A and B are shown apart, each in its own frame.
Chain A
Amino acid sequence: MKKRLWIYLLTLAVLPIKAQKLVFTPQWTAQAQFAGYYVAQKKGFYRQAGIDVEIVHPSVTQPAMSRIRQNLCQATTLQLCQAMELVDTGLELVNILQTSMNNAMVIVSARDKDPLTQRGERVGIWSVGFGQLAICMSIKEGLDYNWVRFSTNVNLFVSGALDATLAMSYNEYYQLMQAGIKLTDKNVYRFCDHGYNVQEDGVYMTRDYYNKHRDQAHRFAEASRKGWEWAAAHPEETLDIVMEYVNKDRIATNRVMQKLMLKEVLRLQVDRESKKREFRLRPDMVKRASDLMKEYSMLEHEVTYDELIAK
């Protein structure tokens, strides 16, 4: 018996520990919005944490929400409002890492109008979600926007088919600038400046998976956080890594746009009050989002901070 125990201990010491596999799906195509995860992968932070992470971007046929529902990935990034919607439908999710500390959503008006004056006008909204807060705001402010769901990019708005459009300050906002649209304080409405500052991107796992792989989840979150911190300290090298992913997936973007996006995403990670990169879900913001969405019938029941965090 003693001899067998020694053999077992020796085997553990000599043989390399096989890294645990984890499929991670960011909620959009390859871009600087996910720079921290690319860095963690490229710089070996995941490997050092003993996790074999595979980053699989969503496709038209398999968006991020579908992938986690179908257990095609073990971790995904979701906006807080999206996560709450899923939790409300009965899919228990755990936020293992919160990256965004501020809301990035804006409304850009065509023809240099103030979006708050565009009652009943046609406003573009992503067909895959993301617009929950805007819908609440539209009802709350009595604007009753005529929402037009679009799949991707800003072409509808640029062609003049829309009166306004929702945009992310790190993505579509710059796409609009790149399309020659003049953006001013007047024609851009920033949700974060009008009492709708609700956190966005965070990394989620199903509670079921989390409960079975707590250690792996924590190591993955820690390595991802390390990736983001490294990205903040080395933006140019990070950009090189982002462009590798972008070019591999043949995404129609360019280095200038990704540079701007990275800068803005990193800015959004700094908490307005503490001026720090906190990487935590704020209970007040969860409450704010839940109250708003429940008030305007986007949630059946309140989704609490405790329901989302890792216990």
Chain B
Amino acid sequence: MNNVFKYIRQKLSVRVSLWVVLFAALIFLTALGFMFVQSRDAVRQEAINRATQILDKTSLRVTGILNRVEVATNMTKWLVMRHPEIADSMFVYSQGMLKCNPDFYNCSIAFEPYYFKEYGRYFSAYTRQSADSILTTQGGSDAYQYFFMDWYLMPALLNRPCWTEPYMDMDMLTNKKEMVTSYCEAIKDQRGNMIGVINTGLSLNWLSQTISAVKPYPNSYSIMIGNGGTYFVHPDTTKLICQTIYTSTLEHKDTAMTALGHAMQNGEEGMRQLNIDGNDCYVFYKPLGSTGWSMAIVCPESDIFGGFDRLRRTVMTIVCVGLLLMLFFFIRIITRELKPLRRLAKEAETIASGQFNTRLPDFNRNDEIGQLSHSFGNMQQSLVNYIEELKTTTAQKASIESELNVASSIQMSMLPNVFPTCEGLDMHASMKPAKEVGGDLYGYVLNDSGLYFAVGDVSGKGVPASLFMAQATRLFRTLAAQQMSPAEICTRMNDALSGNENPTTMFVTMFVGLVNLQTGHLSFCNAGHNPPVLGGGENQGDFLQMLANVPIGVCPDLKYQGEEISTIKGRALFIYTDGLNEAENPQQEQFGDDRILDILRNTHFDSAQQVIETLASEVEHFRNGAEPNDDLTMMCLRVE
């Protein structure tokens, strides 16, 4: 799965195609969904209309035939009531009913017990169709006490004519069973007392056939239930008479089926959706006249929506295949369209590898890709020009760097790297420029007067400072050779380096000293330089208290004033430039005077070189990787 996502992320064509197809699918599904819902509703409505029409038609047919029975019974009842006292005429009326209506099953005209005293307890003029003849008999007996039969009791108890629940009647002669229903009406005398019941039976075979024939869909079927929910028409003949619409719900609760049963029993008309034997079905139902029976057409949903479902499946298949083809072609087209970009990317790789003169392909297109290719060409040309310029500049820079290296060597050669080794003197110095060349200086001259030494710091950095430093160094050496006092050296140097001699107004701070190696007498002149540290004394080292004076080169015609210390024998003198105390770490904190003093006080003096190296190491550690911000010069000497 991750590989699929990775592939999609890497392929613009696939990504764009997927988005397009996704949106197309969304639109298609919305439109088709709406269409399907509407169409399904239309199909459903059509099914309802169709079923309703069939139910109406069937109900009308059934009611028509039942009406005939009702009318004929009424007519006979009228005859009976004209002469209720003549028992024998009842046989004639009963027989007449079936003669006039050969499709009727039977007819009974039964009377209350002992109504006709000559016939005893029972009198029922009973006529029935039997094979090709009509049989008329006296129906009541101890074995058949009709007073307790539904057909006799119902019209009296309900106080209206009514249809009995269908029942199976067995013809003893033919041993044939027939489903029969009876229409029964109470016969009353002139005072309104019930004297008997007339009952006309009708075979329900025709009704069963009529209803069973109703089959609006290939797998649909019709059922009919009676007052008590008993099946009287059902494709499963084992259920006829034996089961009701509720039977299955007694074992497995089925609220939908129960609700349907109640609706049908209550004489309602309508449609319900329910699951019958695992199939989703639509059941359309309608009562049959005034019988209390109800008929229903059960249509499997697959039948009603079969055509619609086929159409939906086909359309969905077409849409799915279409979307897949769309995805395929989109990927192909976008891949083809992006091919120049890939070539351009490849050429860019070649250019990036240094082959700036690689010839870019001409796509001969005016679209965005053409424009990109054109812009890329321009960029390549600009890049070529820029590289050429860079080459020149780099060569120039290399030349300058070479010159600077030479200058650095010259500058470093101007600074002594060998120090006097005469007895009683330990001296060491170092200078580390912040750039190729620096503006710091140090030097010494050893002659009869003693040891001249100086440490200076030219304003600014780089080449100008180095040139000024070279001038100052040369002047110090020349003037020291003439055995002048440090103050005079500073005065003479100031004269030489200030005024018109210094158009760039550069200056140099300097500490110039002369120490008598025998006596340790130190005379010095400070020209605006950092105060050196003199070791020993009460505090094991302190900054030298001295006149500040102005740096050399600032003011012309200035006379510098010197100072002296009777002896520094046994005490180390440490001179440095501001590259030491102003050295900064990455947090831009300065090394500071206190730290210098602290380190020097706590460093045991082994040699001047060891002191210089200790401080150089401490500064390096303090800077913690930060670039040096100024030239760093240190000098240490001690006279024994």
Residues of B within 8 A of A148 (CB): 153, 157
**How far is A260 from B292 in the complex, measured between Cα atoms in Å?**
28
Q: Are the CB atoms of B229 and A159 closer together than 8 Å?
A: no
Q: Are the CB atoms of B153 and A257 closer together than 8 Å?
A: no
Q: Please tell me if A16 contacts chain B, counting CB pairs below 8 Å.
A: no
Known: A161-B157, A179-B229. 12 other contacts (CB 8 A): A149-B148, A153-B150, A155-B164, A160-B158, A177-B246, A178-B243, A178-B244, A178-B246, A180-B244, A254-B243, A256-B247, A256-B251
Task: Compute the total of residue contacts between A and B using a CB distance below 8 Å.
Answer: 89
- List 24 A-B residue pairs with CB atoms under 8 Å apart, sorted by A's residue number: A62-B143, A122-B157, A154-B228, A155-B164, A155-B165, A156-B157, A158-B165, A159-B165, A159-B292, A161-B157, A177-B250, A178-B229, A179-B227, A179-B229, A179-B230, A179-B246, A180-B258, A180-B262, A250-B177, A252-B242, A254-B247, A256-B243, A256-B250, A260-B250
Q: Please tell me if B149 contacts chain A, counting CB pairs below 8 Å.
A: yes
User: Which of B148, B162, B242, B246 is within 8 Å of A150, CB to CB?
Assistant: B148
Q: Please tell me if B331 contacts chain A, counting CB pairs below 8 Å.
A: no
Residues of A within 8 A of B177 (CB): 250
Residue of A nearest to B238 (CB): A254
Residues of B within 8 A of A252 (CB): 168, 241-242
Residues of A within 8 A of B258 (CB): 180
**How far is A50 from B628 in the complex, measured between Cα atoms in Å?**
130
Residues of A within 8 A of B244 (CB): 178-180
**How far is A60 from B143 in the complex, measured between Cα atoms in Å?**
6
Residue of A nearest to B244 (CB): A178
| Nearest Cβ on chain A to B194's Cβ, whole angstroms | 14
| Nearest Cβ on chain A to B152's Cβ, whole angstroms | 10
Q: Are the CB atoms of A159 and B148 closer together than 8 Å?
A: no
Residues of B within 8 A of A48 (CB): none
- Convert A151-180 into 0s and 1s, putting 1 for each residue whose CB lies closer than 8 angstroms to a CB of B: 101111011111000000000001001111
Q: Please tell me if A274 contacts chain B, counting CB pairs below 8 Å.
A: no
Q: Are the CB atoms of A180 and B145 closer together than 8 Å?
A: no
**How far is A55 from B165 in the complex, measured between Cα atoms in Å?**
31
Residues of A within 8 A of B153 (CB): 148, 150, 156, 161
Residues of B within 8 A of A71 (CB): none
Residue with the highest number of chain B CB atoms closer than 10 Å, among A61, A151, A155, A254: A155
Interface, chain B (partner A; CB < 8 A): 143-145, 147-150, 153-154, 157-158, 162, 164-165, 168, 177, 227-230, 239, 241-248, 250-251, 258, 261-262, 265, 292
Residues of B within 8 A of A161 (CB): 153-154, 157-158
Residue with the highest number of chain B CB atoms closer than 10 Å, among A150, A151, A159, A250: A159
**How far is A60 from B230 in the complex, measured between Cα atoms in Å?**
23
Q: Are the CB atoms of A180 and B143 closer together than 8 Å?
A: no
User: Which of B147, B168, B247, B292 is within 8 Å of A257, CB to CB?
Assistant: B247
Residue of B nearest to A260 (CB): B250
Residues of B within 8 A of A150 (CB): 148, 150, 153
Residues of B within 8 A of A211 (CB): none
Residue of A nearest to B261 (CB): A180
Q: Are the CB atoms of A155 and B228 closer together than 8 Å?
A: yes
| Nearest Cβ on chain B to A192's Cβ, whole angstroms | 22
User: Which of B147, B227, B251 is within 8 Å of A158, CB to CB?
Assistant: B227
Q: Are the CB atoms of B145 and A159 closer together than 8 Å?
A: no
**How far is A62 from B142 in the complex, measured between Cα atoms in Å?**
10
Known: A122-B157, A161-B157, A174-B250. A156 touches B150 (CB 8 A): yes
Q: Please tell me if A253 contacts chain B, counting CB pairs below 8 Å.
A: yes
| Nearest Cβ on chain B to A172's Cβ, whole angstroms | 12
Residue of A nearest to B168 (CB): A252
Q: Please tell me if A127 contacts chain B, counting CB pairs below 8 Å.
A: yes
Q: Are the CB atoms of B157 and A162 closer together than 8 Å?
A: yes
**How far is A253 from B247 in the complex, measured between Cα atoms in Å?**
10
| Nearest Cβ on chain B to A29's Cβ, whole angstroms | 13
Residues of A within 8 A of B150 (CB): 150-151, 153, 155-156, 159
Residue of A nearest to B156 (CB): A161
Within residues 232 to 291 of chain A, which ones have a CB less than 8 A from any CB in chain B?
Answer: 250, 252-254, 256-257, 259-260
Q: Are the CB atoms of A151 and B148 closer together than 8 Å?
A: yes
Residue of B nearest to A151 (CB): B148
Residue of A nearest to B146 (CB): A151
Q: Are the CB atoms of B143 and A61 closer together than 8 Å?
A: yes
Residues of B within 8 A of A257 (CB): 247, 250
| Nearest Cβ on chain B to A101's Cβ, whole angstroms | 25
Q: Are the CB atoms of A180 and B228 closer together than 8 Å?
A: yes
